[in-house]
Amino acid sequence: MAVMTMSVLSALYIIYNIICYFKENVIYSIRKVNLVIINHNFFKIQLYLSCVNAVVLTIIIYVWDKFDLRFFFVPMSITFFGINYLIKYIARLKKYVE
């Protein structure tokens, strides 16, 4: 049940990111920081890493469900927010944002 729920949530997250890509919006989790978009390739990085994020989270939930692990929330949270902040870090390294 958890895997199916996470798969649906991952699909919704990917759809949300596709919408953000086409509308050129920064995703919610890193929108709080004032970012000035210099290069629009930022949105490609955001879309790609958000898709990776959704897949990795689905794998974490699958492993948690398969092996009946107790503390799945910690690696799930670290992964989700870590990859989202990695978007901002890579964009700054490539000078796509200020």
Count the residues in the chain. 98
Domain ranges of the chain: 2-93
Distance separating alpha carbons of residues 8 and 24, to the nearest angstrom:
24
pLDDT the model gives residue 52: 95
For residue 34, the one-letter residue type is N
| pLDDT tens, residue order, the chain (98 aa) | 666 777 788 889 899 999 999 999 888 766 666 778 899 999 999 999 999 999 998 888 888 878 877 777 788 889 988 998 899 899 999 999 98
pLDDT the model gives residue 31: 66
- The pTM (predicted TM-score) of the whole model is 0.84
